[in-house]
Structure 1
Amino acid sequence: MWNEFKKFALKGNVLDLAVGVIIGAAFGKIVSSLVDDIIMPLVGLLVGGGIDFSKLSFIVGDAEVKYGSFIQTVVDFLIVAFSIFIFVRIINKRFRLKEKEAQAAPQVDKKEVLLTEIRDLLKEK
């Protein structure tokens, strides 16, 4: 059973997944900081003089309805989704550019170059 577990846990796919989760969590912290520390204060200034959406609420009977927290979460999601979209778009654009460069400059085999030179020399004679 131990050997089967080692084979499962050390498979390439499992390790790739673990690395992806760790990097995703770190990237999530970066994006959360971007949203919380930079973008939302600016949005709050633009919308209503430094308003913090998360504190908006109203009382119905004995219950407090925190609609501001919901608005804050939706705005956070939109900003995170847009940030990831821009990041992926830039990376895809870069890969497409590299693919175009690779297609534009086809690599000629050394044998083919040599054969072309021999052909040209034979034509001259």
Structure 2
Amino acid sequence: MKDFKAFALKGNILELAIGVIIGAAFGKIVTSLVNDLLMPVLGLLLGGLDLSALQYTFNGVELKYGAFLQTVLDFVIVAFSIFMFIKGLSLLKRKEEEKEAAAPAVPEPTNEELLLTEIRDLLQHQREDQRNRP
């Protein structure tokens, strides 16, 4: 049980779970975008054509190629939406990295600077000792 708990609570597993949940919610948004906004406009532009209603009957078997075309179109729109979302996140991340890179880095002190600092501190202690003597 202890090993399972360590596995389940690893950062990667939690990030994956969060990604799946957000992805599912994002999928619903994109599906609504396709079904409720884009397809009615596309149908209007195509003269009221409903892709999902397209079918071909062959020897009593219905081949619903319209539903397939609708699913392919949904996929393309979902893939493009995710691409744009990821591209936007990458742009924000790149800007943040550039901002961090532009910040002046504090250089490490050289050996000479460390030695001079030590000498300064010793001299200050000597002066304080001389002032404190009666």
Range class of TM-score, shorter chain: 0.7 to 0.9
Aligned length: 111
Give the unaligned 5+ runs of structure 2: 114-134
When residues 10 and 103 of structure 1 are mapped into structure 2, their CA distance, relative to the original with a 3 A threshold, is closer
- Superposed CA offset, 1:41-98 (max 9, x none): 112222x223210110010011001010111011111111111111111111121122
Identify which of 59, 71, 74 aligns with 1:73: 71
Following TM superposition, the consecutive aligned residue runs of length 4 or more in structure 1 with deviations greater than 6 angstroms are none
Give the unaligned 5+ runs of structure 1: 116-125
* TM-score normalised to structure 1 length: 0.75
- Superposed CA offset, 1:2-53 (max 9, x none): 333333333333222222211111111111111111111112222x223210
**Percent identity at matched positions?**
56
- Bigger Rg, which one: 2
When residues 87 and 64 of structure 1 are mapped into structure 2, their CA distance, relative to the original with a 3 A threshold, is same
Counterpart in the other structure of 1:61: 59
Which AA in structure 1 matches 2:48? Answer: G
User: What pairs with 1:81-92 in structure 2 (closer than 5 Å)?
Assistant: 81-92=79-90
The Cα RMSD (Å) is 2.3
When residues 99 and 43 of structure 1 are mapped into structure 2, their CA distance, relative to the original with a 3 A threshold, is same
